[in-house]
């Protein structure tokens, strides 16, 4: 149905409330597109077609009661790292195939409480270990702009599905670039909130001091709306914050960016940026200046320090978090939503992929007796320096700006480099290590592939970076793909 094509959540909500469309029509539209396009794109691990249609019909039948819900009748996808009660949750790993959680993650409950419809669980790098979905047991997702390219990762399935219009919005997670990188490569909006802004309860952990659930969306307004729903303190997650949650959507719509001071780290420009990435970024800078913001170059610790710190810190936490997957619990033989039986899954050696095993071994080594001071402790000390460096800049400036990633989408061959992810995420890792919020929005095409620009803000100041991103988005327009 052409009248639904590439619509944002806010646009679909308007059509729902005016009764121009029903929730069932919208859900059928996305399910039809998944059936038509996902065989090539491989964005979904599990599709919840029957359940989604049932939820849509329930919304339509109780329209007058449910229409006030913030996400009422809107179908979204969720990365297969969120526990979903009764729906297979695999983390794209063989060791969890057939695992059906008995509870849902807090963010999933919040989506359902607002009558959101879950279309399915999207593909990712196994246990989020990667930046292109190439480590997924279910095979890599493809970039809908060019299926020979990767969509980024680890939230690659979510970003690809969104760009291909196989859902209205999606939820992902970021440890260090896993939302912003795929958002940039697929030409969508990706928001990594402040660490602790969104509950991690029910999220299968990768790096416990880094993981941040967040939205991927077709517009900045949609990202703000989804953050309104999922943000807030959770008694089940003691790392979640009690800082008051503002109305992000209202802030974006009434926001004024004039007189904002923006810092541009010269180290970002000194990096080897692809020509099109640099050109589109500089064009965006000129547009922002015309909108009344001041932009000044500053100096930041070399982003390559972030690669070293992230490599040690994340792998150390991975080795601890993956210890629970020993092949005697959680994963069971069988396919989607089959009844759990006594047949246990594979062993760790068979069930975990090569990248997962590589990270477990590296992390175990860095935490081992005689080496933890040399590697992990030193890494955490440098991490603190990175955080202080960002904080010092954000005392004088409202926002830090930079390209989202040094290049447009890369290929499977590029991903053969063991440090592929760290290099692709180099412009996001520092801010993630510091726990700061960041949003990436598309700012043009280079060689027919999307490029992205990111805005990094102070802790719990998502409103400012969203407002600034929205102002730029209004000037350059949303990026949409015709499939």
Phi, psi of 229, rounded to the nearest 5 degrees: -80, -45
φ, ψ for residue 115, nearest 5 deg:
65, 25
Contacts of 388 (CB under 8 A, 6+ apart): none
Active site residue 272: no
Q: Residue 103: exposed, middle, or buried by beta-carbon count in 10 A (0-12, 13-18, 19+)?
A: middle
Catalytic residue among 24, 70, 79, 192: 79
Nearest to 122 by CA among 189, 175, 172, 163: 172
154 among known catalytic residues: yes
Contact 255, 463 (CB under 8 A): yes
Which of the residues 160, 178, 316, 432 is marked catalytic? 178
Contact predicate 94/141, CB 8 Å:
no
Long-range (24+ apart) CB contacts under 8 A made by 384-393 are: 385/301, 386/301, 386/305, 386/306, 386/309, 386/430, 386/433, 386/434, 387/433, 387/434, 387/435, 389/300, 389/301, 390/300, 390/430, 390/431, 390/434, 390/436, 390/456, 391/434, 393/263, 393/265, 393/298, 393/300
Q: Which of 93, 104, 154, 404 is catalytic?
A: 154
Q: Which DSSP string do the residues of 283-331 spell out, in sequence order?
A: HHHHHHHHTT-EEEEE----THHHHHHHHHHHHHHHHHHGGG--SSSS-
User: What's phi and psi for 258, nearest 5 deg?
Assistant: -60, 140
Structure tokens given for 84:
């979903």
Residue with tokens 């979510």: 158
User: Is 178 among the residues known to form the active site?
Assistant: yes
SS3 content of the chain, % helix, strand, coil (to 5): 45, 15, 40
d(CA 133, CA 109): 26
Phi, psi values for residue 308, rounded to 5°: -65, -45
Sequence-separated contacts (24+) of 379-382 with Cβ below 8 Å: 379/308, 379/309, 379/312, 379/313, 379/316, 380/313, 382/305, 382/308, 382/309
Q: Give catalytic residue positions.
A: 79, 154, 178
């Amino acid at each position: 149905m052409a009248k639904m094509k590439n619509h944002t959540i806010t646009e679909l909500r308007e059509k729902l409330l005016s009764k121009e469309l029903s929730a069932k029509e919208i859900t059928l539209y996305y399910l039809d597109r998944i059936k038509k396009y996902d065989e090539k794109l491989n964005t979904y691990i599990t599709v919840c077609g029957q359940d989604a249609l049932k939820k849509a019909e329930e919304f339509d039948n109780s329209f007058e009661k449910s229409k006030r819900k913030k996400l009422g009748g809107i179908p979204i996808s969720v990365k297969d790292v969120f526990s979903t009660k009764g729906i297979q949750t695999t983390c794209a790993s063989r060791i969890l195939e057939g695992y059906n959680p008995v509870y849902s993650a807090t963010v999933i409950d919040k989506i359902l409480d607002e009558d959101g419809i879950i279309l399915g669980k999207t593909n990712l790098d196994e246990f989020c270990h990667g930046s292109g979905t190439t480590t997924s047991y279910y095979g890599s997702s493809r970039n809908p702009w060019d299926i020979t390219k990767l969509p980024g990762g680890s939230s690659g399935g979510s970003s690809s599905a969104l760009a291909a219009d196989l859902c209205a919005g999606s939820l992902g997670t970021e440890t260090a670039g896993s939302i912003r990188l795929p958002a940039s490569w697929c030409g969508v909006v990706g928001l990594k909130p402040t660490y602790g802004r969104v509950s991690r309860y029910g999220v299968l952990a990768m790096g416990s001091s880094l993981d941040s659930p967040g939205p991927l969306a077709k517009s900045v307004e949609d990202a703000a709306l989804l953050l309104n729903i999922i943000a807030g303190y959770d008694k089940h997650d003691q790392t979640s914050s009690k800082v008051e949650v503002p109305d992000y959507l209202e802030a974006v719509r009434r926001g004024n960016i004039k007189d904002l001071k923006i810092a541009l780290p010269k180290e970002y420009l000194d990096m080897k940026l692809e020509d099109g990435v640099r050109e589109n970024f500089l064009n965006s800078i000129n547009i922002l200046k015309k909108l009344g913001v001041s932009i000044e170059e500053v100096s930041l610790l070399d982003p390559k320090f972030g690669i070293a710190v992230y490599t040690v810190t994340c792998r150390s936490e991975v080795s601890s978090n993956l210890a629970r997957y020993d092949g005697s619990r959680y994963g069971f033989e069988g396919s989607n939503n089959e009844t759990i039986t006594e047949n246990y899954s594979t062993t760790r050696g068979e069930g975990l992929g090569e990248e997962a095993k590589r990270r477990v071994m590296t992390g175990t080594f860095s935490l081992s007796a005689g080496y933890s001071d040399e590697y992990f402790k030193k890494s955490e000390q440098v991490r603190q320096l990175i955080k202080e460096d960002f904080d010092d800049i954000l005392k004088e400036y409202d926002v830090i700006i930079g390209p989202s990633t040094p290049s447009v989408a890369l290929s499977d061959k590029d991903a053969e480099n063991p440090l592929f992810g760290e290099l692709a995420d180099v412009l996001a890792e520092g801010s993630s290590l510091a726990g700061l919020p960041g949003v990436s929005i598309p700012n043009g095409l280079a060689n027919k592939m999307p490029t992205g620009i990111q805005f990094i803000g102070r802790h719990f100041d998502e409103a400012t970076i969203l407002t600034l991103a929205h102002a730029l988005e209004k000037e350059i327009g949303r990026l949409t793909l015709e499939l």
